């Protein structure tokens, strides 16, 4: 199996999306953001791909941008021009920040293919710099507008994969791993160690095993995630089936009619949420008033509100088991918390064989349905 950070993260976000992209290889559309990012990467590749230590000029960098500019994905010439002018400003800021420390990198746009546990891990490292200390720094360019929190950079899988690739391919352990956010012109650096490399190997191995299992069983389930509104495969996804449904639904109700029902239901749910929030606020006021005046019943001309007292106890589970199990009553008070169990099964903490054994222990399923309302962020 050939894997990359993109393939792994796609599968982690949504196995069905992975199937469409990497198994069935369905076409994806080019967007302004993708073309913009690719153009910046290409210009910087040419900027650092020199053979003499004399730094190129700003004019040369902007010429590289013009030569490598990707035109696909823009809605019209005006949008393309707006992105191009923005790219020029981004590179100008980059040039002014970095030109005084310019040096020829040890590698630029370095492709790698590393064999790990019978699979091939592939990728491209944007830049590898030699540090004054003698160590190396891996730099990955990002074109997002916002900076991630530190903990995400410290656990970033892409940087971990690059660290692992450098160890396997070149026998070096990078001293620093850096995400360079081009739009705000800021760096965030982190480090990795041998323990991180082992965790990365285990993640890759686990994802590869899951992909193989889905391929054998033909599952590749759809998993809703934050990227769904921008997914290229909505018209193939069961979660978005109704969005592209042109036929009349069964039961005598048309597609237009069910849309009206959905909108009314969603509006009432939103009103219900506001009502429940206000109820909680009013409840707290009433409780506080009762506490202050030491009363349990309140009267108005038309209503009476009584305040009851409920006690929820917490027991020592081990002690309870010692007392109840010998006399046959332990099973009467113990039940499986399905929410906790499901989260555990979805995590990477359990070994595959344990997950399979737990799944085999399921005796029956009671299926029910619930409705969840959210705003359609991408109605078109």
In DSSP notation, 88-123 reads HHHHHHHHHHHGGG----SEEEEEEEEEETTEEEEE
49, two tokens: 């791909």
Give the separation between CA 283 and CA 58, rounded to whole angstroms. Answer: 65
User: Could you tell me the CA-to-CA distances from 236 to 128, 213, 375 in Å, in that order?
Assistant: 40, 21, 21
Residues paired with 308 in a beta bridge: none
N- to C-terminal Cα separation, the chain:
36
Cα atoms in the Cβ-side hemisphere of radius 13 Å centred on 98: 24
What's residue 310's pLDDT? 80
- Comparing 76-85, 230-239, 308-317, the range with the smallest average pLDDT is 308-317
Q: Is 51 exposed, middle or buried (0-12, 13-18, 19+ CB in 10 A)?
A: exposed
3-state SS class at 357: helix
> Which comes out higher in pLDDT, residue 243 or 62?
62
3-state SS class at 215: helix
At 91-145, the pLDDT tens digits run 999 999 999 999 999 999 999 999 988 899 999 999 999 999 999 999 999 998 8
Residue 380 has pLDDT above 60, yes or no: no
Angle at 16 between CA 370 and CA 123, to 5 degrees: 140
Give the separation between CA 194 and CA 197, rounded to whole angstroms. Answer: 5
Give the separation between CA 292 and CA 283, rounded to whole angstroms. Answer: 14
**Closest CA relative to residue 223, chosen from 371, 2, 19, 7:** 19
Give the separation between CA 114 and CA 104, rounded to whole angstroms. Answer: 25
**Closest CA relative to residue 2, chosen from 25, 28, 29, 33:** 25
| 8 Å CB contact between 137 and 34 | no
**Closest CA relative to residue 110, chosen from 98, 94, 127, 93:** 127
Measured from the Cβ of residue 81, the count of other Cβ atoms closer than 10 Å reads 11
**Closest CA relative to residue 18, chosen from 7, 29, 27, 4:** 7
What's residue 116's pLDDT? 87
What's residue 249's pLDDT? 45
- Comparing 56-70, 84-98, 323-337, the range with the smallest average pLDDT is 323-337
Task: Pick 2-217's CATH classification: 3.90.320.10, 3.30.1360.10, 3.40.50.150, 3.40.50.300.
Answer: 3.90.320.10
**Closest CA relative to residue 155, chosen from 196, 125, 187, 116:** 196
Length of the chain: 380
| Matching residue, tokens 């210009």 | 43
For range 197-201, the mean pLDDT: 93
At 265-309, the pLDDT tens digits run 899 999 998 999 999 999 899 999 988 999 888 888 888 888 888
At 209-230, the pLDDT tens digits run 999 999 999 889 999 999 998 9
User: Could you tell me the CA-to-CA distances from 278 to 282, 285, 303 in Å, in that order?
Assistant: 6, 11, 18
Give the separation between CA 332 and CA 354, rounded to whole angstroms. Answer: 26
**Closest CA relative to residue 56, chosen from 44, 66, 67:** 44
| 8 Å CB contact between 215 and 230 | no
| pTM for the structure as a whole | 0.70
149, two tokens: 């929190």
């Amino acid at each position: 199996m050939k894997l990359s950070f993109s393939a792994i993260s796609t599968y982690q976000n949504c196995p069905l999306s992975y199937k469409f992209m990497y198994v069935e290889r369905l076409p994806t559309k080019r967007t302004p953001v993708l073309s913009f990012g690719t153009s910046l990467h290409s210009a910087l590749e040419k900027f650092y791909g020199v053979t003499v230590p004399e730094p190129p000029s700003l004019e040369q960098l902007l010429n590289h941008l013009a030569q490598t500019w990707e035109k696909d994905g823009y809605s019209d010439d005006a949008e393309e021009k707006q992105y191009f002018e923005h790219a020029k400003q981004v590179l100008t800021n980059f040039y002014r920040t970095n030109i005084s420390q310019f040096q020829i990198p040890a590698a630029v746009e370095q492709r790698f293919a590393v064999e790990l546990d019978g699979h091939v891990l592939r990728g491209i490292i944007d830049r590898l710099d030699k540090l004054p200390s003698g160590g190396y720094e891996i730099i990955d360019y990002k074109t997002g507008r916002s900076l991630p929190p530190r903990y995400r950079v410290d656990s970033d899988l892409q940087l971990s994969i690059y660290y692992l690739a450098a160890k396997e391919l070149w026998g070096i352990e990078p001293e620093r791993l850096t995400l360079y956010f081009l739009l705000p012109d800021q760096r965030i650096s982190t480090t990795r160690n041998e323990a991180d490399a082992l965790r990365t190997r285990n993640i890759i191995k686990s994802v590869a095993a899951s992909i193989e299992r889905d391929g054998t069983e033909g599952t590749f389930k759809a998993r809703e995630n934050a990227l769904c509104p921008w997914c290229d495969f909505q018209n193939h996804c069961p979660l978005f089936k109704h969005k592209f449904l042109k036929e009349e639904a069964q039961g005598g109700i048309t597609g237009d009619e069910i849309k009206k029902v959905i909108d009314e239901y969603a509006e009432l749910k939103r009103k219900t949420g506001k009502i429940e929030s206000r109820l909680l606020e009013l409840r707290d006021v009433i409780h506080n008033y009762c506490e202050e005046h030491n009363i349990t019943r309140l009267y108005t001309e038309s209503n009476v509100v009584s305040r009851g007292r409920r006690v929820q106890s917490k027991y020592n589970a081990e002690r309870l088991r010692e007392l109840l199990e010998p006399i046959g009553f332990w099973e009467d008070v113990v039940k499986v918390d399905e929410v906790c169990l499901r989260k555990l099964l979805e995590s990477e903490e359990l070994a595959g064989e344990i997950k399979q054994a737990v799944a085999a222990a399921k005796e029956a399923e009671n299926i029910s349905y619930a409705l969840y309302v959210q705003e359609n962020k991408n109605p078109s």
